[in-house]
Chain A
């Protein structure tokens, strides 16, 4: 089954404790992105990747890092999480520049 898999689905952590949210897709897609979803603000793009070792900032990259060492994986790293990073995070992948995105199930992160 074609899918985008995120882990974990739920995470509660403390301020400053480094964490990684994993994202994996099995569709051989070149493009992958990370979004955060907050009430009233919609989905906002954090980072995106056009291919292995090629990444760029979206609209809200501060406090986040990404890496793309393999085509299927695109982890999101929070080196020092803060409470304002409490949010619902989605990973997405797509085949080409103008195509629709396939989203993961989301990771609900709470930073206390």
Chain B
């Protein structure tokens, strides 16, 4: 069964305290793994796409990595404006089907 699990469910960090979010998946024939950011009351906003194990993408304080079983979203020296829920989604063998994790709610305190 195709499944995506994110951990932790919630994470509280002090400003500047680096950490990582995890997304583990069991999907038949991974086509792509997507990271999104969701702010309260808004739709998810795209961050990264990763397609193959070993691939890495960076954007400001965020860096996403991918292995055959999981992906990490590393947050370096976070700021309060990084507070949001981060969602992971995998695209399975059927290009049109996407499976989302339940998200990690990040709270960065000043």
Having A100-B49, A102-B46, A106-B42, one finds 6 other A-B pairs with CB under 8 Å, namely A4-B43, A33-B98, A100-B34, A100-B46, A101-B98, A103-B43
CA A101 to CA B80, docked complex, whole Å: 26
- From B4, B43, B45, B51, contact of A42 by CB (8 A): B4
* B36 contact set on A, CB distance < 8 A: 103
A75-112 vs B, CB cutoff 8 Å, 1 = contact: the mask equals: 00000000000000010100001111111111000000
- From A4, A42, A98, A103, contact of B95 by CB (8 A): A98
* B31 contact set on A, CB distance < 8 A: 98
Tell me how many residue pairs across A and B have CB atoms closer than 8 Å: 59
The chain B residues found within 8 Å of chain A, CB to CB, are 4, 31-32, 34, 36, 41-46, 49, 51, 87, 89, 91, 95-103
CA A41 to CA B102, docked complex, whole Å: 5
Complex A-B: 17 CB contacts under 8 Å = A4-B43, A42-B101, A43-B44, A44-B100, A45-B98, A48-B96, A56-B96, A58-B97, A59-B99, A92-B43, A98-B31, A98-B95, A100-B46, A100-B49, A102-B46, A103-B43, A106-B43
